[in-house]
């Protein structure tokens, strides 16, 4: 194909099999090995909403060069069951390898069809290896990791070190069994690697990098911001934030509450925020639907809370373990009535860390809810990052009084910017009643529902949006100021688009990108100016109706040249952006994407 993507010095590894085989855990171990060896990594985990069974895959991209996202091709396919091979054979690159267990899959029954000449079969007796070391069947995944490294002639030391650390809290014999299994798998693959064209070695002098997904990054950012109370009911893909907070809360002085439902979670956050504690709850679309009435309560009571909304495809239960960006409008308009809110949309783990701590400042400065809008692709998938700089975190509590006394306390005093004095319980003279009714300046409940009070208080709250525009993160541009192709996007589509831009640059096609980091209040002026100097604009978003594109029309009165949408629950791949862009430019020559991989709604 003439426009083949320039992947560079890298290897792509896919592990496939049923749920319950430790596929993601094995892949994460492999990612740690390469990250510690100086490589950039990016992974993609795909799994159905089943506790056991169904087809799971973990795809790891390992590169000596900087990368921004996963890709589609596979160089080494680890098949932990017979189903994996036919499902992913077409993704294998020329010269790629299939590592399999002849105990479960007979080599002579593997039908490679036209790929027989360019695919290498690597039989490794994973089951026998595990039996020999006295282990259990799930340890086959560790033997397979050793085989992957052996096939590319990569040293085993890093994997063994990682296994020792991983199983340090277990009985000593468990760690030794896993180490023995990995060592045997490595040796078998070394002897049967059949001229695999990709050999990697540790990179000396590479900077330290950490592995993080979006939820971990956001959790670290929230803790760095001084988070004091976290409440949640588990819901994919937000559950891992609850796990992280529960694991680290005691050391950080954090109160963590696993509530009976999402309604309780957000109401507890409102109560905690009233006491002056930085408070957060996270959920997905279905849980957020339950939080909507309480979100309005936070709006009218001017409560400084942060809500993580990490989306998946709907409606209703939808696709619980897959990804989509279709709750943008929902986040903007959730709850009856009109009240100010800020919605930040991180695009990668680095953004997630930064926007999380900034969200707490904004909630305090504006005394209103702030929503951190993510999705499954960002929440669940890890990549290498430079260590998060907690020293850069600045804490601003806004108009908050935590000690002393106040006279004639007017909690909802009418001010020019809409932000009123705020004092925590215990400050002398700061008594008030907090409820969900409209109120006068002093906050003594409903004062008779007179028209003047209503207009005055509603206008006061909405004036905060003018202040918010001066405080929120501005849109971020990537690439040259002038370009042949200009992308506009929000959220996690940033990652595959940045990768595709790199490939287009290698083809001599200049591309730039505007990442809308704050989707509400919408940065109309910055978006308008970007469009005005763009030759050809393409909006990329994972929803069917073009929700970001609609906001651009609404606030900027501009039509986009083109759009690329995807709605099958899978994240965009850079190949899709790259190929579709060439098709839009009219210069694509070669084999188009298969129908199953084409983005929906591209025009």
CB contact set of 418 (below 8 Å; sequence gap of 6+): 340, 460, 461, 462, 463, 464, 466, 467
The helix or strand, by DSSP H or E, that contains position 464, with its residue range, turns out to be helix 464-471
Q: How many residues does the chain have?
A: 603
CB 23 within 8 A of CB 56: yes
- For residue 231, the Cα-to-chain-centroid distance in whole angstroms is 20
Q: Measured between alpha carbons, how far is 575 from 1 in angstroms, rounded to an integer?
A: 13
How far is the C-alpha of 2 from the C-alpha of 9, rounded, in Å?
19
Do 211-392 and 476-597 have matching folds?
A: yes
CATH 2.170.190.11 assigned to domain 10-191? The reply is no
pLDDT, tens digit, 9 for 90 and up, residues 499-516: 999 999 999 999 999 999
List of residues 6+ apart from 134 with CB closer than 8 A = 173, 177
What DSSP state is assigned to residue 428? B
Half-sphere exposure of 409 (CA within 13 A, CB side): 20
Please state the rounded mean pLDDT for residues 332-342.
97
The region of weakest confidence among 33-37, 107-111, 337-341, 343-347 is 107-111
Strands 279-283, 229-232: pairing kind: parallel
Take residue 38 and report the two structure tokens written for it. 């100086």
What pLDDT score was predicted for residue 7?
55
Instruction: Reply yes or no on whether the pLDDT at 562 is more than 90.
Output: yes
CA distances from 2 to 81, 575, 581 (A): 35, 13, 14
What percentage of the chain exceeds 90 in pLDDT? Answer: 86
Cis peptide bond N-terminal to 543, omega within 30 = no
DSSP string, 238-303: THHHHHHHHHHHHHHT-EEEE-SSHHHHHHHHHHHHHTT--EEEEE-HHHHHHHHHHHHHHHHTT-
- End-to-end Cα spacing for the chain: 22
Q: Is the pLDDT of residue 339 over 60?
A: yes
Mean pLDDT, range 255-277, rounded to an integer: 98
Domain ranges of the chain: 10-191, 211-392, 476-597
Residue 559 reports pLDDT greater than 70: yes
**Least confident range of 107-116, 397-406, 576-585:** 107-116
Segment 566-582, tens digit of pLDDT: 999 999 999 999 999 99
SS3 content of the chain, % helix, strand, coil (to 5): 40, 20, 40
Q: How confident is the model at residue 141 (pLDDT cuts 50, 70, 90)?
A: very high
| CATH code of the region 211-392 | 3.40.50.970
Domain 476-597 sits in CATH at: 3.40.50.920
CB 72 within 8 A of CB 91: yes
Question: For residue 261, what pLDDT is reported?
Answer: 98
- Does residue 19 register a pLDDT over 90? no
Q: Report yes or no: 283 and 309 within 8 Å, Cβ to Cβ.
A: yes
Task: Tell me if residue 168 falls in helix, strand or coil.
Answer: coil
Query: How many Cβ atoms are within 10 Å of 436's Cβ, its own excluded?
Result: 15
pLDDT at position 168: 85
- Sorted by sequence, the CB contacts under 8 Å of residue 171 that are 6+ apart come out as none
On the question of pLDDT at 232 being above 80, the answer is: yes
Examine the pLDDT at 391 and tell me if it is beyond 70. yes
What global pTM score does this model have? 0.94
State the Cα–Cα distance between residues 560 and 549, nearest whole angstrom: 7
547-560 average pLDDT score: 97
Cα 578 versus chain centre, distance: 21
pLDDT greater than 60 at residue 304 = yes
Mean pLDDT of the chain: 93
| Separation between Cα atoms, residue 489 and residue 426, nearest integer Å | 46
Higher pLDDT, 193 or 296: 296
- Contacts with 428 (C-beta within 8 Å, 6 or more apart), sequence order: 404, 405, 406
For residue 97, pLDDT beyond 60: yes
- pLDDT computed for residue 193 by the predictor: 64
Average pLDDT value for residue range 237-255? 96
Q: 61-70, 112-121, 188-197: lowest mean pLDDT where?
A: 188-197
Taking only the tens place, the pLDDT of each residue in 435-491 is: 999 999 988 877 778 999 999 999 999 999 999 999 999 999 999 999 999 999 999
Q: From residue 603, how far is each of 397, 410, 485 by CA, in Å?
A: 46, 55, 14
Q: What is the pLDDT of residue 390?
A: 95
């Amino acid at each position: 194909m003439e426009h083949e993507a320039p992947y560079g010095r890298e290897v792509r590894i896919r592990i496939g099999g049923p749920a319950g085989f430790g596929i993601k855990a094995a892949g994460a171990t492999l990612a740690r090995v390469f990250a510690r060896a100086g490589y950039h990594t990016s992974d993609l985990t795909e799994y159905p909403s089943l506790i056991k069974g169904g087809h799971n895959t973990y795809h790891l991209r390992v590169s000596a060069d900087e990368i921004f996202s996963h890709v589609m091709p596979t160089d080494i396919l680890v098949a932990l069951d017979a189903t994996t091979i036919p499902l992913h054979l077409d993704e294998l690159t020329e010269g790629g390898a299939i590592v399999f267990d002849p105990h479960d899959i007979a080599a002579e029954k593997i039908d490679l069809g036209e790929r027989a000449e360019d695919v290498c079969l690597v039989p490794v007796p994973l089951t026998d290896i595990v039996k020999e070391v006295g282990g259990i069947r799930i340890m086959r995944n560790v033997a397979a990791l050793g085989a992957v490294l052996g096939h590319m002639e990569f040293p085993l030391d890093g994997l063994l070190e990682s296994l020792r650390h991983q199983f340090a809290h277990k009985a000593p014999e468990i760690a030794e069994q896993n180490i023995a299994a990995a060592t045997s798998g490595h040796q078998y693959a070394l002897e049967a690697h059949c001229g695999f064209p990709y050999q990697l070695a540790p990179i000396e002098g590479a900077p330290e990098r950490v592995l993080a997904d979006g939820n971990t990054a956001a959790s670290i950012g929230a803790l760095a911001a001084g988070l004091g109370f976290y409440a949640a009911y588990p819901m994919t893909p937000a559950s891992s934030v609850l796990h992280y907070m529960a694991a680290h809360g005691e050391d950080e002085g954090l109160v963590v509450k696993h509530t009976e439902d999402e309604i309780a979670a957000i109401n507890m956050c409102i109560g905690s925020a009233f006491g002056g504690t930085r408070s957060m709850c996270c959920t997905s679309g279905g849980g957020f639907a339950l939080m909507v009435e309480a979100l309005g309560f936070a709006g009218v009571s001017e409560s400084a809370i942060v809500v993580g909304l990490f989306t998946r495809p709907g409606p209703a239960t939808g696709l619980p373990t897959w990804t989509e960006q279709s709750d943008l409008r929902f986040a903007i308009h959730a709850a009856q009535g009109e009240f100010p809110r800020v919605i930040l949309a991180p695009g990668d783990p680095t953004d997630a860390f930064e926007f999380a701590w900034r969200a707490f400042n904004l909630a305090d400065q504006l005394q209103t809810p702030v929503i951190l809008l993510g999705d499954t692709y960002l929440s669940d998938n890890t990549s290498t990052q430079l260590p998060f700089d907690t020293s850069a975190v600045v804490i601003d509590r806004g108009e908050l009084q935590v000690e002393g006394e106040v006279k004639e306390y007017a909690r909802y005093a009418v001010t020019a910017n809409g932000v009123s004095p705020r004092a925590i319980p215990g400050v002398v003279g700061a008594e008030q009643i907090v409820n969900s009714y409209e109120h006068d300046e002093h906050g003594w409940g409903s004062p008779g529902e007179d028209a003047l009070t209503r207009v005055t208080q509603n206008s006061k709250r909405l004036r905060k949006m003018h202040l918010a525009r001066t405080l929120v993160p501005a849109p971020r541009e990537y690439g040259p100021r002038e370009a042949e192709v200009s992308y506009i996007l929000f959220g996690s589509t940033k990652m595959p688009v940045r990768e595709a831009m790199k490939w287009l640059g290698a083809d001599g096609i200049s591309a730039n990108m505007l990442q809308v980091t704050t989707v509400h209040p919408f940065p109309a002026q910055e978006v308008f100016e970007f469009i005005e100097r763009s030759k050809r604009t393409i909006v990329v978003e994972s929803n069917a109706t073009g929700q970001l594109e609609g906001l651009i029309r609404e606030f900027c009165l501009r039509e986009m040249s083109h759009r690329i949408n995807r709605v099958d629950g899978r994240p965009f791949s850079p190949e899709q952006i790259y190929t579709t862009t060439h098709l839009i430019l009219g210069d694509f020559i070669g084999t188009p994407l298969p129908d199953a991989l084409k983005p929906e709604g591209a025009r």
